[in-house]
């Protein structure tokens, strides 16, 4: 096997091992076969081109061309009826959208498959560039490590140690291949030993592997276990370290969708509560809230960066007067994995094992250490909470207030479709106050024209919301909650979407909650009252809270609590379209909320992959000058011409090497130049410089240039370059390799003085 083929094979294996780190990102494994096929084709074509006169330059060009062809061809296959350019554009946009709207492990998507295959292929090209073209195998770790950083930064949970070991193992394979090549070039005492004419190189190689490679992998595994990859609190939105600071949170809407569509209804938790019976002697359970989504953009409702505090919350956000009555709830969770803790709203005193912190704005409790994704499994805990029971008369005249996070919960994206804005204003045109406007929105969504359905809806983000409101009018709790929360913001009422569990079914003295009880509802903020729960979802057994319904009749009855909590089936009132609320006597809000740009508070999967690919591009640009310089050196020392041309090429390479070392090239004849270099910059390689200068003079002026061979010329140049690099610092050597000044000098043929 040729040395170049061995390095190409090692680059292939290292990239394939680094690809294993992408497994936790997606549920779809089809990208593996596509990636392996693309890598194999790139490697085979590159190896064949290297055997031709094109050499390393041709190999680099060919592998880039093959990768571009594979990426474009795969895009055409995955995107029906589109040309290559349109297919790439569509898949890139769809892939980014899928990454932004999903959390790991993502559902299958052809666009993400295309992105991953392209990323893996680019990693292989960069690895081969460093290992083979630039002949820097020690740099071969960088591309695989870049690929590894994508899931390491994006995942909410720590990566398996297998991912780190795979990257290190691939790097060791590259070093092992280079070791074999070096050993084959160094034959004295190994292969050509007269006493052992058939002595094999294998014992030396595998002995080195046992001494270096195996301990390297073992130490990397020990370091991995000692230093969790999840400790990235310095990254905005990254994983926390157990204390106060930003945490990257998983998307609870994904669990909501999966569990509501499960054919089997599996018990999740049980609880007992001291809640009293209501006015109709119906024994009520309690909503158990797990997460809050305050961030709204074109992709829908999402988490935002939060500050997690230890201990118990000191106050209930927005509440002026807290009720002294407490509810005590004992909760036992079974087979349910989550980093969020199911709790009644508002929690006041929590007793729970493990390390947990809370967000002071949403009062959501989150695991802060260990295996966060499984923090709730088999957990038993208790909580004292305050039931929210706003006074109907007071709520009916309340205005949408300004919570502490009003810059997130009270603003609208500038690109919200106009028809959604118009619909919200139309529905609430005859409602005089903010709370009554919210009640009108709830009544509209619970009216007879909308149906509850867990079947997947087409589209996502604004497209799905518009389709739900104006076309299908069918959806499950997430669509109803999202629609009401969006339209509430149109009216100037701060809003967010909560995810949690319905009260469940009572069995004896215990309430049982199942996967099908997962639910979403909107929470709206009113001045002096705080965050209130609303229930726009019809048909799944949900009952709107008393404070969200109005009585029919006259006088004060319009603001009093209703006598029944059954959903209304009344037909939707017909309102004339209007752009402003129709009540001229309604008091204007002191804090009108208009469309504003929202700060990007997330470090999600799409941003991480974008940063990773951007890093790859930056690395490629930084390596370009050094690559061109290395290709020029290889061409000069390849010995393709006659002896005179080879000697001139070697002398030109020495000239450029001196310039790269920040030296000056003397003027004069080769012998004069040799004398000046031998007493200055190249004093340690004076014999080699003198010998090469003599060869240059013979090549130029003698009748016969001599009998020197190409290997001897290569050795002379190599010794001279080594002498130039020896006194240089590590930083100077890196600068010589990456930014060679000789590339900027004009080239005047082969003659270099």
- 65-110 pLDDT, tens digit per residue, is 999 999 988 888 887 667 888 888 888 887 776 665 555 667 777 8
Q: How far is CA 364 from CA 275, 317, 627, in A?
A: 21, 12, 52
Strands 510-514 and 505-507: antiparallel
The pLDDT score that the predictor gives to residue 612 is 58
- Return the minimum-mean-pLDDT range out of 150-164, 234-248, 430-444: 234-248
**Is the predicted pLDDT of residue 115 greater than 50, yes or no?**
yes
CA 624, distance to chain mean position in Å, is 27
Q: How far apart are CA 327 and CA 347, in angstroms?
A: 9
Token readout for 176 is: 């092992």
- CB of 284 closer than 8 Å to CB of 503: yes
Banded pLDDT at 559 (limits 50, 70, 90): very low
Among the residues of 198-264, which ranges form H helices? 202-208, 214-226, 252-260
Region 464-475 average pLDDT: 88
Token readout for 440 is: 């009108």
Among the residues of 20-133, which ranges form H helices? 30-50, 55-78, 84-101, 110-128
Query: What are residue 599's DSSP bridge partners?
Result: none
> What length does the chain have?
753
Q: How far is CA 612 from CA 116, 506, 608, 615, in A?
A: 12, 50, 6, 5
Among the residues of 415-559, which ranges form H helices? 418-427, 434-445, 461-467, 477-490
pLDDT (tens digit, 9 = 90+) per residue, 193-205? 444 444 455 555 5
Q: How far apart are CA 696 and CA 652, in angstroms?
A: 10
Domain map (residue ranges) of the chain:
3-238+604-628, 252-385, 637-744
Cβ neighbourhood burial of 472 (10 Å; 0-12, 13-18, 19+): middle
**Is the predicted pLDDT of residue 478 greater than 70, yes or no?**
yes
Pseudo-torsion of CA 119, 124, 128, 131, nearest 10°? 90
The pTM assigned to this predicted structure is 0.47
**Is the predicted pLDDT of residue 243 greater than 90, yes or no?**
no
Most distant CA pair in the chain: distance in Å?
120
- Return the minimum-mean-pLDDT range out of 33-37, 78-82, 480-484: 78-82
Q: How far apart are CA 435 and CA 261, in angstroms?
A: 33
Region 328-351 average pLDDT: 90
**Is the predicted pLDDT of residue 556 greater than 70, yes or no?**
no
Banded pLDDT at 588 (limits 50, 70, 90): very low
CB-CB neighbours of 63 under 10 Å: 25
Q: Mean pLDDT for the chain?
A: 76
**Is the predicted pLDDT of residue 690 greater than 50, yes or no?**
yes
Q: How far apart are CA 4 and CA 1, in angstroms?
A: 8
**Is the predicted pLDDT of residue 585 greater than 50, yes or no?**
no
Token readout for 189 is: 């005492």
Half-sphere exposure of residue 743, counting CA atoms within 13 Å on the CB side? Answer: 15
**Is the predicted pLDDT of residue 127 greater than 50, yes or no?**
yes
If DSSP codes are grouped into helix, strand and coil, which group holds residue 238? coil
Region 432-443 average pLDDT: 93
Nearest 5°: CA angle at 140, between 134 and 144?
135
- E strand residue ranges, 279-343: 288-293, 295-297, 300-302, 327-333
The pLDDT score that the predictor gives to residue 315 is 73
Q: How far is CA 449 from CA 473, 477, 479, in A?
A: 7, 15, 14
CA 253, distance to chain mean position in Å, is 18
Q: How far apart are CA 534 and CA 546, in angstroms?
A: 10
- CB of 156 closer than 8 Å to CB of 104: yes
- Return the minimum-mean-pLDDT range out of 301-310, 484-493, 495-504, 520-529: 301-310
Strands 295-297 and 356-358: unpaired
Q: Where is 600: in which H helix or E strand?
A: none
Query: What are residue 343's DSSP bridge partners?
Result: 289
């Amino acid at each position: 096997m040729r040395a170049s083929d061995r390095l190409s094979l090692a680059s292939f294996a290292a990239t394939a091992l680094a690809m294993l780190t992408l497994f936790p990102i997606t549920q779809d494994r089809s990208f593996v076969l596509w990636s392996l096929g693309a890598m194999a084709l790139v490697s085979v074509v590159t190896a064949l081109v290297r055997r031709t006169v094109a050499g390393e330059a041709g190999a680099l060009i060919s592998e880039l061309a093959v990768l571009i062809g594979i990426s474009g061809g795969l895009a055409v296959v995955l995107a029906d009826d589109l040309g290559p350019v349109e297919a790439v554009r569509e898949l890139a946009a769809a892939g980014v959208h899928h990454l932004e709207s999903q959390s790991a492990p993502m559902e299958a998507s052809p666009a993400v498959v295309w992105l991953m295959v392209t990323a893996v292929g680019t990693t292989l090209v960069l690895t081969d560039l460093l290992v083979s073209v630039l002949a820097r195998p020690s740099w071969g770790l960088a591309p695989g490590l870049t690929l590894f950083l994508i899931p390491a930064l994006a995942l909410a949970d720590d990566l398996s140690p297998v991912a780190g070991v795979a990257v290190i193992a691939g790097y060791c394979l590259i070093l092992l291949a280079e070791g074999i090549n070096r050993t084959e070039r160094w034959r004295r005492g190994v292969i050509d030993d007269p006493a052992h004419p058939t002595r094999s190189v294998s014992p030396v190689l595998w002995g080195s592997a046992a001494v270096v490679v195996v301990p390297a992998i073992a130490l990397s595994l020990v370091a991995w276990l000692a230093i969790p990859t999840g400790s990235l609190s310095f990254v905005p939105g990254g994983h926390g370290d157990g204390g106060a600071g930003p945490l990257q949170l998983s998307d609870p809407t994904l669990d909501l969708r999966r569990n509501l569509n499960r054919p089997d209804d599996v018990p999740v938790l049980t609880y007992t509560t001291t809640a009293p019976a209501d006015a109709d002697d119906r024994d009520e359970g309690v909503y158990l809230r797990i997460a809050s989504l305050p961030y709204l953009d074109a992709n829908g409702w999402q988490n935002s960066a939060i500050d997690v505090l230890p201990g118990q919350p000191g106050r209930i956000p927005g509440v002026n007067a807290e009720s002294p009555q407490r509810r005590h709830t004992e909760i036992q969770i079974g087979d349910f994995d989550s980093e969020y803790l199911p709790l009644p709203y508002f929690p006041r005193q929590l007793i729970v094992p493990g390390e947990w912190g809370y967000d002071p704005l949403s009062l959501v409790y989150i695991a802060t250490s260990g295996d966060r994704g499984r923090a709730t499994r088999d957990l038993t805990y208790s909580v004292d909470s305050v039931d929210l029971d706003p006074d109907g008369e007071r709520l009916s005249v309340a205005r949408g207030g300004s919570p502490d996070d009003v810059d997130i919960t009270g603003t609208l994206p500038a690109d919200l479709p106009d028809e959604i804005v118009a619909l919200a204003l139309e529905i609430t045109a005859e409602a005089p106050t903010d709370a009554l406007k919210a009640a009108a929105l709830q009544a509209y969504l619970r009216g007879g024209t909308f149906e509850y359905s867990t079947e997947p809806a087409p589209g996502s983000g604004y497209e799905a919301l518009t389709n739900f409101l104006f076309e299908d009018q069918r959806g499950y709790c997430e669509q109803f909650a999202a629609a009401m929360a969006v339209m509430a913001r149109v009216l100037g009422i701060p809003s967010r979407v909560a995810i949690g569990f319905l009260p469940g079914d009572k069995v004896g003295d215990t309430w049982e909650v199942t996967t099908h009880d997962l639910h979403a509802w909107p929470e709206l903020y009113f001045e002096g009252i705080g965050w209130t729960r609303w229930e726009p979802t019809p048909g799944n057994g949900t009952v709107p809270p008393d404070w969200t319904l109005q009585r029919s009749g006259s006088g004060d009855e319009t603001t009093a609590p209703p006598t029944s909590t059954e959903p209304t089936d009344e037909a939707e009132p017909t309102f004339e379209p209007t752009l402003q609320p129709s009540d001229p006597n309604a008091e204007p809000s002191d804090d009108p909320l208009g469309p504003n740009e929202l700060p990007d508070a997330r470090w999600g999967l799409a941003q991480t992959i974008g940063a990773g690919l951007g890093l790859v591009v930056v690395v490629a640009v930084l390596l370009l000058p050094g690559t061109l310089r290395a290709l020029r050196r290889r061409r000069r020392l390849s010995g393709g011409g006659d002896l005179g041309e080879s000697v001139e090429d070697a002398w030109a390479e020495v000239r450029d090497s001196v310039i790269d070392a920040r030296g000056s090239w003397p003027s004069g004849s080769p012998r004069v130049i040799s004398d000046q270099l031998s007493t200055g910059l190249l004093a340690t390689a004076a014999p080699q410089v003198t010998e090469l200068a003599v060869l240059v003079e013979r090549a130029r002026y003698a009748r016969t240039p001599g009998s020197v061979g190409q290997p001897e010329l290569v050795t002379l140049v190599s010794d001279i370059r080594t002498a130039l690099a020896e006194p240089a610092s590590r930083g100077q050597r890196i600068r010589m390799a990456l930014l060679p000044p000789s590339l900027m000098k004009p080239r005047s043929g082969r003659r270099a003085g």
